Structure 1
Amino acid sequence: MAANHLSDIAQWRVGPGMRGIPSVCSAHPVVIEASMLAALKRDTHLLIEATCNQVNQDGGYTGMTPADFRRFVERIAAKTGFPMEKLILGGDHLGPNPWKHMLADEAMAKAGVMIRAYAEAGFTKLHLDTSMGCAGEPIALPDAITAERAASLAAVAEKAVPAGTVKPVYIIGTEVPIPGGAMEELDVLEVTRPEAALATVEVHRRAFEAAGVGDAFPRVVGAVVQPGVEFGNHNVIAYEPEKAKALSSTLDRLPGLVFEAHSTDYQTREALRTLVSDGFAILKVGPGLTFALREAFYGLDEIAEFLFPGKRKETLRATMERVLTEEPKNWEKYYHGSPGEQRLQRHFSYSDRIRYYWPNARVTTAVDELFGLLSGVAIPETLISQYLAGLYLAVREGRAKPTADGVVLAAVDKVLEDYFEACRG
């Protein structure tokens, strides 16, 4: 049986090659294609993760089950020529989060069905996230309850792994940031206390033993902690290594483990590099990638409107605004303020909740119409300078093609480059 590529991630810091790994948390085909091309260029493994809200047994907001998501990624791998043996599929925030409005027993039963589906579909990195309260419970749960529920899900996954296949590695944690970034503007964050990180690992160790899956605990390779990075709708909290120094040092007392850093979107390359060197070896990124994608789509929208005025009934941005206002369920709880402020956040928030709408049928039609209009068009450099200024040098230097497909892939790759370079030894 082949070994899990992530099983020895704690040893990467002292060896040649990659010292950490980016975790691409997105279900957008362009983001996945760009990620595969970036990994191909560097001849390295690629970790792609689906979240519990994106992909689950009910379809999530993408309409895909875990098995569907695997087939979806495999099709993109075939298109790009990416070798499946270098692809790692992960499940992110696997727990009761999508059903936390239910009573705990019901929500956990649903979470059990979900993690079984992930394990059966061959996902080999499973983030167990049971840190949130369900109906009638406090928002944050005691560590012992969190660990007990996480271990129960690990037990389900262990039974579901197909015989003869790669065994999954697990990520645990009790102080887990909410999926998709903070819900409001932030000033400061409390870094996880070293004793809390140590206690988290120990309480999970005992819970795995009690659940009858103690033999799976050595495959726990990481713990989610808060190193002091996050983003809200309008601002980003930058990594300050000194504040996380004590937390980072606890890894000396946790052999075989690394820390997983969530919400690293919008950090600088140097900050990401420092995170990796400090032991935060798994760097989660999602909204930052689709934020760059949306910037490219909107830039192309402006270019198409200039080159082909009146050829469409409405622009992509106008279509998106119509869909966002008519179907507000994915943003209305998160964006506040005046109508103008909400409009700003709908399109340009760092939280990028607009990403939930790219699979919408009306939006995909508008995107297809935009790309159809620009098909075969060599976009003038001067328009790229005007509307896609961040990609101008890449086009001038021949690193990006001056086409609609070319600049969109380049926009996402520009973010990915920071992550892959930060993870290099």
Structure 2
Amino acid sequence: MNQLLTRLAPARQDGEPFGITSVCSAHPTVIRAALRRAKDNGRQVLIEATCNQVNQFGGYTGMTPADFIAFVRGIAGEEGLDGSRILFGGDHLGPNPWKGEPAEAAMANSEVLVRDYVLAGFSKIHLDTSMACAGEPTNLGDRIIAERAVRLTAVAEQTALANGLVPPVYVLGTEVPVPGGADHALDSVVPTSAADARATIDVHRGVFEQAGLAEAFTRVIAFVVQPGVEFGNANVIAYRPEAASALSAVLGDVPQFVFEAHSTDYQTVEVLSALVRDGYPILKVGPGLTFAYREALYGLDLIATELVADYGDRPLARAMENIMLDDPAHWRGHYHGDDQALRIQRHYSYSDRIRYYWGKSEAVEAVARLLAALRGVVIPETLLRQFLPSTSLSGEEGADPEQFLLEAVDVVLATYDQACGHQPRAALKRDRREASAAVASSISILEKYLIVQ
């Protein structure tokens, strides 16, 4: 299952680097688009769940690790994709959901988290123990972070051995970008220094060996570093190869590893290609995919407002505003400014914290009403140009609104495919009945798994 991942470092050493897209999302339309692309291209697909999305307590999606795998495999079955083509990764597994608690309590929960991920069938495990817990200094230091990572690795190894499972591959690191992007405007991002990257690798190797986990360390495929790539609420910091050249050069001395690139959302294909070339071939993307989904939904909301007599004035956007105001937990503290600035950020921020709300029952109902209002309606080309200017689809024969949503996500995935060394191709298309059935299924999946009351 993990042969694709274990080939990343040797391929780079051989001068033939390739990349893999890490799809970090629990939204069914995003998952469907990724699986559909994998089926049509005949390749494997890497789907990752984060500790906040999916954990033993349900996370913000309401799913346990086993639920998440069943959820993805259910969509794969509908798409006719062989389940063996799906690689499952666990992202930021560690104390983050419980960092407000004392370290021992947070780590005890983290052990259960890792055990459940391995038992469920996640074969790529990113261990993130870089965050301070209650009462701890902000900067924990490499040694403490490595010791906590070893503690969780031991749980993963024991779980795999006791249950006859293939042991996972690991991703480690100490300079781990904040999950989901920064929550403020960014002027620049300083790459991890080469000295710090070397020290992190050396400390982890030593701590693993001292703990009797040297064999597990041979299955570490990557370290997370900061190559100078990030996005905030209102802007994106692009990768600059010259600024990270010393960091990239570290890989020449540690041929076992590549670096994993977090927060690559909204980068251009040229930038993503440079990341793959320079040793960051695992390209993680999440908010950028649901941002594209939201863009398409809001475009359709405006089209329906103009075209469907009894639809109303942007009822989807209005519903989402009310939902976010009624439950501000996922955006308050992350967005800043006066009321106008907060409203704009709630809907249009690159951090895309609106993604936490698509599973709410009111949001599911509003999306379903929008799709029903436009299904079969002829959309003039001029309206598509106004509100969905990037679409390659036509509404002349009667709209298939689900197609616009799948296409929007797939355009982003196509950029990553190209950067990873795959031939570019057009966004995926399906006939109207197939796409309608697919998104109807996605809505039912939202109702089953993702609705947060």
CA distance in 2, matches of 1:140, 1:405: 46
- Tell me if the contact between 2:270 and 2:419 (Cα under 8 Å) persists in the aligned partners: yes
CA distance in 2: counterparts of 1:224 and 1:7, whole angstroms:
16
What corresponds to 2:150 in structure 1?
Answer: 151
Distance 1:24 1:205, change over 3 A: same
**1:202-217 alignment runs, 5 A limit:** 202-217=202-217
Does residue 1:320 correspond to 2:315, yes or no? no
Within 5 Å, which residues of 2 pair with 1:346-425?
Answer: 346-391=346-391, 394-395=392-393, 403-424=400-421
How much has 1:209 moved relative to structure 2?
2.2
Structure 2: 5+ residue stretches without partners:
423-453
Q: Distance in 1 between matches of 2:9 and 2:337?
A: 44
Partner in structure 2 of residue 275 of structure 1: 275
Runs of 4 or more consecutive aligned structure 1 residues displaced over 4 Å after TM superposition: 14-18
Distance 1:383 1:397 in 2: 9
TM-aligned CA deviation for residue 167 of structure 1: 2.2
Match of 2:11 in 1: 12
Any idea what the Cα deviations from partners look like across 1:72-113, whole Å, max 9, x if unmatched? Answer: 000110111122111100000000000000000000001111
Instruction: Tell me, yes or no, if the aligned pair for 1:4 and 1:124 is still in contact at 8 Å.
Output: no
Question: What's the offset of the Cα at 1:45?
Answer: 1.1
Q: Which residue of 2 aligns with 1:340?
A: 340
Distance 1:232 1:3, change over 3 A: closer
SS at match of 1:39: helix
**Partner amino acid, structure 1, of 2:267:** Q
Q: Secondary structure at the residue paired with 1:298?
A: helix
Per the alignment, residue 288 of structure 1 pairs with: 288
Cα deviation digits, residues 133-189 of structure 1 (max 9, x gap):
000012231100000001100111111126443321100000001100001001011
Q: Counterpart of 1:423 in structure 2: which amino acid?
A: C
Secondary structure, aligned partner of 2:310: coil
SS of match in other structure, 1:64: coil
Q: Contact (CA 8 Å) 1:379, 1:402: kept in 2 or not?
A: yes
Instruction: Return the alpha-carbon distance in structure 1 between the equivalents of residues 149 and 179 of structure 2.
Output: 17
For residue 83 of structure 1, what is the aligned residue in structure 2? Answer: 82
Contact 1:248 1:278 in 2 (8 A): yes
Amino acid in the other structure paired with 2:383: L
Question: What is the rounded CA distance, in whole Å, between the counterparts of 2:340 and 2:29 in structure 1?
Answer: 30
Contact 2:305 2:314 in 1 (8 A): no
**Alignment-derived partner of residue 34 in structure 2:** 35
Task: Report what 1:61 is aligned to.
Answer: 60
Contact (CA 8 Å) 1:12, 1:20: kept in 2 or not? no
- Determine if contact 1:379/1:403 at 8 Å carries over to the other structure: no
Helix, strand or coil: the match of 2:222?
strand
Give, in angstroms, the shift of residue 208 of structure 1: 1.7
Q: Quick check: 1:223–1:258 contact (8 Å CA) kept in 2?
A: yes
1:114-263 equivalent positions in 2, closer than 5 A: 114-161=113-160, 163-263=163-263
Contact 2:379 2:395 in 1 (8 A): no
Distance in 1, Cα, partners of 2:17 & 2:68: 27
Q: What is the letter of the counterpart of residue 105 of structure 1?
A: E
Cα separation, 2, equivalents of 1:34 and 1:60? 23
Percent of residue pairs identical = 53
CA contact (8 A) 1:262 1:283 kept: yes
1:17/1:80 CA distance change after superposition, 3 Å: farther
CA RMSD of aligned residues (A): 1.9
The CA deviation at 1:361 is 1.1
CA distance in 1 between partners of 2:75 and 2:323 (Å): 27
Normalized against structure 1, the TM-score is what?
0.95
1 CA distance for matches of 2:95 and 2:12?
33
Deviations 1:215-262 (A, max 9, x none): 110000000000001001011111111001111011011111000010
1:12 positional shift: 2.6
Indicate the SS of the match to 1:27.
coil
| AA in 1 matched with 2:19 | G
Q: TM-score, normalised by structure 2?
A: 0.89
**2: CA distance between counterparts of 1:103 and 1:16?**
46
Q: Look up the SS of the partner of 1:389 in the other structure.
A: coil
Q: 8 Å contact 1:4–1:167 — kept in the other structure?
A: no
Aligned length: 420
